[in-house]
Structure 1
Amino acid sequence: MTELRQGIQIWPIGSGKGGVGKTLLTANLGILLSRMNRKVVLLDADLGASNLHTALGIPYITKTLNNLLTGAPGGLPDTAVETPIPGLSLIGGGRQLPAYPDYQKDLTGRILSGIPLVRADILLMDLGGGIQTNALDLFLLSNRPIVVMTEDPASIQTTYHLLKMAVYRKILKTFPQNPLISFMVDSATHPKSRRKVHAVPELIEKISHVDRCYADLILKTLKDFSPQMIVNMAGRHDHRRPADVVTAVSRKFLGISPELLGIMEYHQGIVESTRRLRPFTLNPMNLKATEQLNLIAHRLAGAADAVSSLESSREKNRTKPAVEVSPAKEKQEIWLMDNVEYKNRPLYVLTEKLNSDSSIQTSVYYRGRILFSKKMRYAELYGPEPDEKSMERLIGKQHQTALKGIREGRLRFKDEK
Structure 2
Amino acid sequence: MVNILPIASGKGGVGKSSTAVNLAITLAQKGKRVILCDFDFGGANLHTLLGLKNNHAGMGNFIYKQAAELTELLQETGIENLKFIAGDCLYPGTANMDASTKRKIIRKLNSLDTDYVILDLGAGTTYNTLDFYLTTYNSILVTTPEITSVLNAYSFLKAASFRFFMQQFKARSEERLFINDYIKNSTSGTETSFIDLIEKTSQTFTQTTAEPLSELAKYRPQVIVNMGETAQDLDMAKRLRSLVQNKLGIKMDFVGFLPKDERVSYAVALRKPLALTDPQCKFVKAIETAAGRILQHSYEYNEMEMFDNGNFSDEDLNNLSAEFTE
Distance 1:97 1:203, change over 3 A: same
For structure 1, the residue ranges without an aligned partner over 5 or more in a row are: 1-6, 320-417
**CA deviations over 1:202-248 (Å, ceiling 9, x no partner):** 11221232222434334322211110000001122223222222221
Residue equivalent to 1:256: 250
* Correspondent of 2:137 among 138, 143, 146: 143
Is the CA contact (8 Å cut-off) linking 2:145 and 2:234 kept in structure 1? no
Which position in structure 1 is the counterpart of 2:15? 21
The correspondence for 1:116, drawn from 110, 116, 121, is: 110
Q: Which amino acid aligns with 2:233?
A: H
1:1-400 to structure 2, matched below 5 A, reads 7-98=1-92, 102-103=96-97, 108-177=102-171, 179-190=173-184, 198-284=192-278, 287-302=281-296, 314-315=312-313, 317=315
Is this contact kept in 2: 1:41–1:120, CA < 8 A? Answer: yes
Conservation of the 8 A alpha-carbon contact between 2:259 and 2:282? no
Q: Distance in 1 between matches of 2:119 and 2:283?
A: 21
Gaps of 5+ in 2: 299-303, 318-326
> How far 1:71 sits from its partner (Å)?
2.7
CA RMSD of superposed structures (Å): 2.7
State the number of aligned residues.
Answer: 310
* Cα pair distance change 1:294/1:311, threshold 3 Å: farther
Distance 1:259 1:187, change over 3 A: same
Supply the distance in 2 between the matched residues of 1:110 and 1:269 (Cα, whole angstroms): 39
Cα pair 2:62 2:68 within 8 Å, conserved = no
Question: Could you say which structure has the higher helix fraction?
Answer: 2
Counterpart Cα distance in 1 of 2:94 and 2:41: 14
Look up the SS of the partner of 1:233 in the other structure.
strand
> Could you say if the C-alpha distance between residues 198 and 73 of structure 1 is closer, same or farther in structure 2, counting changes exceeding 3 Å?
closer
TM-superposed CA distance for 1:117, in Å, is 2.8
Q: Residue type matched to 2:63 in 1?
A: L
The secondary structure found in structure 2 opposite 1:120 is coil
Q: 1 CA distance for matches of 2:316 and 2:185? A: 35
Deviations 1:284-308 (A, max 9, x none): 375221111001111122289xx87
Equivalent residue number for residue 321 of structure 2 = none
Q: Deviations over 1:296-328 (max 9, x none)?
A: 111122289xx8766599235279xxxxxxxxx
Cα drift, residue 188 of structure 1: 1.8
Q: Which residue of 1 aligns with 2:320?
A: none
- What is the CA-CA distance between 1:30 and the residue it aligns to? 0.7
Contact 2:253 2:312 in 1 (8 A): no
The two structures have a TM-score, normalised by structure 2, of 0.86
Q: Taking every aligned residue pair, what percent have the same amino acid on both sides?
A: 25
Rounded Cα–Cα distance in structure 1 between residues aligned with 2:231 and 2:94: 48
- 1:156, CA displacement in angstroms? 1.0
Who wins on radius of gyration, i.e. which is larger? 1
* Cα deviation digits, residues 78-136 of structure 1 (max 9, x gap): 11111110110001101213258844767534422321331110010000001011111
Higher fraction of strand: 1
Q: Please, which moves more after superposition, 70-79 or 135-144?
A: 70-79
Deviation string, structure 1 residues 159-209 (Cα, Å, up to 9, x no partner): 111111111111111002352211221122126669x97322211221232
